[in-house]
């Protein structure tokens, strides 16, 4: 089982006539990176919210937004009357010093001054937090389900691409036999250009051909590549946590064996199959960046 690091979850709840909306969005990231857009009253719970997110979502760039729709929201702000009076006195004194009179009411300007309108201090009640926490957990659960759903799609894609790599590997075999016969003939023809038949030591010729063929033999690489393919599929189906990092390491080993086969191919048809294997592997690697 694998999970994508891209997901979205949304949940709503109600507590004391307040509508709570929680949204959780996640993108791929190597580490756990949280962005919290929450009301000031929840700031004391930010560490707890972080723990809830990390426990289920583990890692990624995670953005959580908590909003409250309150019917009596206008009662949550107050005018700092004492501060307004001080601003007013300073403005009047300034006009006197400048020898001018205010041309209009100073009230609109006073209301725009810093800290004149302030939120009324709110206390988060424990019973309220209990309901809000349930809503947060519900949004996280929806996001995690979305991650699993996308992970299932990616798993099917990976399985198909690994099957394609194995198929291309099997198709290499006929070209291998033809390649050895062609190499043998080429070496013999090259020798005949410079030496007469009577000067060619057949035993030595066979030794040289065997030596050359051993250098370009890809039997070990094929076995290792096939084993890595099986290990990749096995890791995909493990019923544990998602194994994005482990799959990435396996893909590196797949690439190493494919590159070695390509360097030893010495055959255009084999090289074409190698290129196709590389293409499939690159598409796998692109998607692995998004796997948890």
CB neighbourhood size of 70 (10 A): 13
Q: Which of 170-174, 212-216, 221-225, 250-254 has the lowest mean pLDDT?
A: 212-216
In this structure, the answer to whether residues 128 and 68 fall within a common structural domain is: yes
pLDDT level of residue 256 (50, 70, 90 thresholds): very high
pLDDT level of residue 79 (50, 70, 90 thresholds): confident
Please count the structural domains in the chain: 3
H or E element that contains 219: helix 219-236
In this structure, the answer to whether residues 89 and 209 fall within a common structural domain is: no
CB 84 within 8 A of CB 116: yes
In this structure, the answer to whether residues 66 and 134 fall within a common structural domain is: yes
In this structure, the answer to whether residues 193 and 107 fall within a common structural domain is: no
**In-domain check, residue 284:** no
pTM of model > 0.75 = no
In this structure, the answer to whether residues 197 and 93 fall within a common structural domain is: no
Q: What's the CA angle centered on 232, arms 231 and 233, to 5 degrees?
A: 90
Q: Which of 9-18, 94-103, 145-154 has the lowest mean pLDDT?
A: 94-103
156 pLDDT above the threshold of 70: yes
**In-domain check, residue 236:** no
The residue that leads in pLDDT, 69 or 223, is 223
Strand ranges inside the chain, DSSP E: 7-15, 18-27, 32-37, 60-69, 77-79, 117-119
Inter-CA distances, 197 with 41, 193, 210, Å: 96, 10, 20
In this structure, the answer to whether residues 187 and 92 fall within a common structural domain is: no
Nearest alpha carbon to residue 78 among 113, 28, 119, 134: 119
Rounded CA-CA distance 244/290 in Å is: 8
**In-domain check, residue 193:** yes
In this structure, the answer to whether residues 52 and 182 fall within a common structural domain is: no
Strand ranges inside 48-147, DSSP E: 60-69, 77-79, 117-119
The boundaries of the domain holding residue 52 are: 7-72+124-146
**In-domain check, residue 287:** no
**First vs last C-alpha separation in the chain:** 11
Enter the tokens of residue 198.
């009577």
**In-domain check, residue 164:** no
In this structure, the answer to whether residues 200 and 86 fall within a common structural domain is: no
CB 5 within 8 A of CB 32: no
In this structure, the answer to whether residues 67 and 87 fall within a common structural domain is: no
% of the chain at pLDDT higher than 70: 83
The string of pLDDT tens digits covering residues 103-153 is 567 777 777 777 767 665 556 677 778 888 999 999 999 999 999 999 999
pLDDT level of residue 217 (50, 70, 90 thresholds): confident
In this structure, the answer to whether residues 89 and 192 fall within a common structural domain is: no
The residue that leads in pLDDT, 280 or 83, is 280
Q: Which of 8-17, 112-121, 266-275 has the lowest mean pLDDT?
A: 112-121
The residue that leads in pLDDT, 203 or 57, is 57
**In-domain check, residue 100:** yes
Residues in the chain: 292
Q: What is the pLDDT of residue 87?
A: 80
CB 126 within 8 A of CB 41: no
Enter the tokens of residue 230.
């099986």
232 pLDDT above the threshold of 80: yes
142: helix, strand or coil: helix
In this structure, the answer to whether residues 108 and 30 fall within a common structural domain is: no
**In-domain check, residue 90:** yes
In this structure, the answer to whether residues 88 and 20 fall within a common structural domain is: no
The residue that leads in pLDDT, 292 or 231, is 231
- What rounded mean pLDDT belongs to the chain? 84
Domain at 60, CATH number: 3.30.230
Enter the tokens of residue 208.
């040289």
Q: What is the pLDDT of residue 48?
A: 92
**In-domain check, residue 25:** yes
126-170 and 219-236 helices cross at what angle (nearest 10)?
Answer: 150
């Amino acid at each position: 089982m694998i999970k994508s690091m891209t997901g979205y979850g949304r949940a709503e709840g109600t507590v004391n006539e307040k509508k709570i909306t929680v949204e959780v969005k996640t993108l791929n990231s190597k580490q756990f990176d949280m962005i919290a857009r929450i009301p000031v009253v929840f700031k004391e719970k930010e560490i707890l919210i972080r723990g809830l997110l990390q426990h289920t979502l583990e890692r990624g760039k995670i953005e959580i937004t908590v909003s409250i729709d309150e019917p009596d929201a206008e009662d949550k702000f107050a005018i700092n009357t004492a501060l307004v009076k001080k601003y007013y006195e300073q403005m009047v004194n300034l006009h006197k010093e400048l020898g001018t009179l205010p041309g209009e009411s100073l009230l609109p300007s006073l209301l725009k001054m810093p800290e004149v309108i302030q939120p009324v201090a709110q206390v988060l009640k424990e019973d309220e937090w209990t309901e809000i926490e349930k809503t947060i957990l519900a949004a996280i659960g929806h996001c995690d389900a979305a991650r699993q759903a996308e992970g299932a799609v990616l798993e099917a894609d990976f399985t198909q691409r690994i099957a394609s790599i194995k198929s291309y590997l099997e198709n290499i075999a006929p070209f291998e036999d033809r390649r050895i016969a062609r190499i043998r003939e080429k070496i013999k023809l090259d020798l005949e250009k410079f030496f007469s038949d009577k000067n060619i030591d057949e035993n030595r010729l066979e030794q040289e051909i065997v030596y050359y063929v051993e250098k370009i033999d890809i039997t070990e690489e094929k076995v290792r590549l096939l084993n890595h393919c099986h290990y990749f599929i096995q890791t995909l189906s493990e019923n544990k946590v998602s194994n994005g990092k482990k799959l990435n390491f396996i893909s590196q080993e797949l690439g190493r064996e494919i590159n070695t086969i390509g360097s030893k191919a010495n055959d255009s048809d084999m090289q074409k199959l190698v290129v196709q294997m590389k293409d499939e592997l690159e598409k796998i690697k692109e998607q692995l960046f998004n796997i948890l």
